Structure 1
Amino acid sequence: MFASSSAWARRIAVAGLAAAAMGAWAEYPERPLKFIVPYAAGSGVDVSMRPVADAMGRELGQAIAVDNRPSAGGIVGTQAVVTAAPDGYTVGYGNLVTLSINSAFFSKLPYAPAKDLVPIGLISSNAYVVIVRKDLPVRNLQELIAYGRAHPGQLSVGSPGIGSAGHLTGELLKAETGLAMVQVPYKTGTQAVGDMVNGQLDVTIENIAAVLPFVQQGRVKAIAVTSAKRASVLPEVATVAESGVPGFDVVAWGAMVAPAGTPRKVVDRLNTALRAALADPAVLRAYAALSVEALPSSPEELSALMKRETPRWAEAVRRAGVKGD
C-alpha cells in the first residue's frame, strides 16, 4: 500500500529538517565559545588554560572566552557547565577534584559528573610533590617515615583544605606507609607553604608547579614525587613508588567537558581542536614553564579515567573519615 500524500509531505519535511540540522553542525562553530573554568582568574589552573583556549580558538576559527567561576571547590563553575545549553558553545574545565573527588566528598553534589557531563578529552597532568621544611632532618621519604615513627604525633602535614587533592593524597600515603602525621588544614596551599618556609609546618603535598620556585631556592626540600615516573623538572627526586610504595601514582589531571546531550559530531570537532592546541608550540612553551605536561586523549579515554579515579578517591575519603556538606 502506498503512503498518502500527507504522509509523504511529513517525510519530506522531516528529511529537510534533518538535512538542515546536519548542515548547521557541519558549519559549527558559527560564533564564539565560552570556556568555564571553576577557579579564580590568575590561579594556576586559569593560567594554564588560557593558552589552550587561545590555540583552540585559532583552530576553530572562533574566539574562546575564558569565564572564571570560582567557589565551593569547583562546584559552582561545574554546575554552570552542567546547566548550559548542549549546543557546543559552552565547554568547561574539569579535573581530579571536580570530576572525581567531589562525588565522594560531598553528600549533596548537585550533579553527577558521569551522567551530566560529556567528556571531550584530557588536557594536562602534573605530579604532586612531598615537601618538608628545610631544617627537618630527612632527605627522602623513607627517612621521613623513620622520623615519624621515632617521633610519634609530632609531624604536622598541611593541605589546602579538608577534602582537597593534597589532603587526600596525604591520606593515601599515610595508609600505604603507616606514616602518622597531624593534619593541619589551610585555606590555600600557598598559606601552607608559607608556614613551612617559616618553620611552622613540617610537611605538605602540593602541585609541583606551585612549589617549584621554593624548592629551587632551597627554602623547602622536595623528597618524593607522587607520579609513576620522575618529574622532568625535579629529576633527582625519587617517586613515592621508588621509595618503597609500589604502584603509587597520583597526578593532578585536567580535562575539557561539555553539558550532557552535546552532539557527538560537536564533541569530535572539539576533541580535534583540543588535540591540535596541545601540540601548538605556544602551548607547549607555556606548559614547560609551568611544569605541566600536555596530555591529549580521546573522549573515551577521559571517560575511562573518571571511572577508575572516582572509586579510588571514594576509598581515600572513607579512610580519612571526612565528608563535605
Structure 2
Amino acid sequence: MPALSFAWTRRTVLAGLAAVALGASAQFPERPLKFIVPYAAGSGVDVAVRPVADAMGRELGQALAVDNRPSAGGIVGTQALATSAPDGYTVGYGNLVTLSINPAFFSKLPYAPEKDLVPVGLISSNAYVLIVRKDLPVRNLQELIAYGREHPGKLSAGSPGIGSAGHLTGELLKAETGLTMVQVPYKTGTQAVGDMVNGQLDVTIENISAVLPFIQQGRVKAIAVTSAKRAGVLPEVATVAESGVPGFEVVAWGALMAPAGTPRKTVDRLNTALRTALADPAVVRANAALSIEALPSSPEELSALMKREKPRWADAVRRAGVKGD
C-alpha cells in the first residue's frame, strides 16, 4: 500500500511538472484575438484600423478580429475594453477623444484611462485642418482673425458636437488668437462640411483625411493645419504655428490599449506586433491613401503622451465652459 501510494504521488508530481513545463513553453497568443474599435464599421477610424489589425494578425499568427462597439463618443467600446479579461486576447483602439477629452468633458465617465487601461503603443497621427467656405474672403489664419474682428458675432464655426475634438481645438485656437466664432454643433463632421460646401457655414476644424477630397476639388478652402509641421498632402497650407501662434499643435493620435492588469510580457509582445504591422506594405499604402502618419512607440511613450494631453484638454473644456453629463 505505501509503495502504491508513493507510485501514485510520483506520477502526479511528474505530470504536474510536465504541465508546468508545457505552460512555460506555450507562446502567446494561442488563439484568435479581439480588437475593440469604439466607432462604427465603415467610419474613418474603422477603415484606418482594419489594415493594422490584419497585419498584426499575420505577425502574431492568429486572427485579430475587429469588434465595432460604437456609441456615446467612444465610451461604450472603451468601457467594454476596460472590463475585459486582462489576458492579452482583447485589445482596443483608444485616441485623443476616448483617452484625453472624454475624461475632461464627462463628469461621470464609466472608465478611467490611467486606472482601467494599460498603454500598448501608438498607432497613428493625423493633423486637423482649419477650413472655410470657398467664398469667404480670407486666405490664411491671420486674415480669418481680422475678418472675425471686423464682423463680430458673424463667423459661424461648425463641429461634430459640443466637447468634440474639433470643437475644443477651436476653443484652444480662440484662446490663443482672440478669434471670435459662434459655435454651431452638428451630429457629425460630415454634416458640418456639407453645410460649408452649400455656403451655410463659415468655418470648421476637421481631420485632414475626412475633408481632403473637398479641399482638392476646391469646394472648401484650407487655411491652416494644426500639426507641428506641414501635412505632406497639403504642402502649400501653413501650420497654425507658422501663422502667428508659436507652439500650437493638435493632432488626432490613435493608440492600441489593453485592459489594466495585462502582463507586461504580453504587452511587449503586442507592441512588437504593432510596430511590425505599421511597417507592413499594405498598412503603409492604406495610411498614404488616408493621409495618416504611422507613429510607432513604446508603451512608456504612449503613457507620457496621455499624461501631457490630460491637463491640456481639461483646460480647453474649462475655457469652453462646457461639461458632459
Normalising by structure 2, we get a TM-score of 0.94
5 Å matches for 1:1-325? 21-24=23-26, 27-325=27-325
CA distance in 1, matches of 2:209, 2:152: 31
Q: Structure 1 residues 15 and 97, CA, compared in 2 at 3 Å: closer, same or farther?
A: farther
Q: Give the distance between the partners of 1:213 and 1:95, measured in 2 at CA.
A: 24
Aligned twin of 1:4: none
Q: Give the SS at the match of 2:153.
A: coil
Indicate the SS of the match to 1:236.
Answer: coil
Distance between the aligned counterparts of 2:79 and 2:144, measured in 1? 40
Amino acid at match of 1:120: V
What is the CA-CA distance between 1:64 and the residue it aligns to? 0.6
Mapped to 2, the partners of 1:119 and 1:125 lie a distance apart of 16
**What SS does the corresponding residue of 2:252 show, helix, strand or coil?**
strand
Distance in 2 between the 1:231 and 1:120 partners?
A: 26
Q: For residues 24 and 163 of structure 2, what CA distance do their matches in structure 1 show?
A: 44
Compared CA separation, residues 19 and 307, structure 1 to 2 (3 A): farther
* 1:67 alignment partner, SS class: strand
Mapped to 2, the partners of 1:14 and 1:83 lie a distance apart of 32
- Evaluate the alpha carbon distance shift between residue 259 and residue 129 of structure 1 in structure 2; reply closer, same or farther with a 3 A threshold: same
Task: Determine the C-alpha separation between the residues in 1 that align with 2:14 and 2:308.
Answer: 46
Could you give the per-residue CA deviations for residues 233-284 of structure 1, whole angstroms, max 9, x where no partner exists?
A: 0000000000000000000000000000101110000000000000001100
Percent identity over paired residues: 87
Shift, 1:18, TM fit? 6.5
Question: Over aligned residue pairs, what C-alpha RMSD do you find?
Answer: 1.6
Q: Partners of 1:316 and 1:205 in 2: how far apart?
A: 15
Q: Which runs of 5+ in 1 are unaligned?
A: 1-8
Equivalent position SS for 1:163: coil
Which ranges of 4 or more aligned residues in structure 1 deviate by more than 4 Å?
11-21
**Which AA in structure 2 matches 1:239?**
T
Deviation at 1:28, TM superposition (A): 0.7
Aligned-partner residue type, residue 72 of structure 2: A
What amino acid is aligned across from residue 266 of structure 2 in structure 1?
Answer: V
Instruction: Work out the number of aligned pairs and report it.
Output: 314
Q: Secondary structure at the match of 1:102?
A: helix
1:316: how far off? 0.2
Give 3-state SS (helix, strand or coil) of 2:94's partner.
strand
CA-CA distance at 1:22 after TM superposition: 3.4
Q: Deviations over 1:143-167 (max 9, x none)?
A: 0000000000000000000000000
Give me the whole-angstrom Cα distance separating, in 2, the residues matched to 1:135 and 1:256. Answer: 41
Deviation at 1:23, TM superposition (A): 3.1
Shift of 1:14: 10
> Structure 2: which amino acid aligns with 1:22?
A
Task: Tell me by how many angstroms 1:111 deviates.
Answer: 1.0
In structure 2, the gaps of 5 or more residues are 1-9
TM-score by length of 1: 0.94
Secondary structure, aligned partner of 1:309: helix
